[in-house]
Homo-oligomer: A and B are copies of this chain.
């Protein structure tokens, strides 16, 4: 965005990412996972972060995984999630209007 008007393909790609982020619950889940740095977070530990049911948490996390913002790894019963930092780096660069 800092280099001028964006093309249609870039705008559509970024809109998908922004839409996945545009939910308060997802932002809270994501910020908790991001706070662990490079370590993954077990879905079981996210139950105490937001006061919603496990299926609803899974639904929100799936949206973030589908948008490429999180990576999901199954370990036995529970899924573990890690932030894909490159996606956020690119998004921040896109939003750099300065």
Contacts and interface: CB of A to CB of B under 8 A. Distances in A.
A4 to B, nearest CB: 4
A47 B62 CA distance: 37
A11 B25 CA distance: 7
B28 A22 contact: no
A32 to B, nearest CB: 5
B27 A6 contact: yes
Given A12-B24, A97-B83, A97-B85, A35 B4 contact: yes
Interface of A: 1-2, 4-6, 8, 11-12, 14-15, 18-19, 21-25, 27-28, 30-32, 34-35, 49, 83, 85, 88-89, 91-92, 95-98
25 contacts: A1-B34, A5-B28, A5-B32, A5-B35, A6-B28, A11-B27, A11-B28, A12-B24, A14-B24, A14-B27, A15-B21, A15-B23, A15-B24, A15-B27, A18-B27, A21-B22, A21-B95, A22-B22, A83-B97, A85-B97, A85-B98, A89-B98, A91-B95, A92-B92, A92-B95
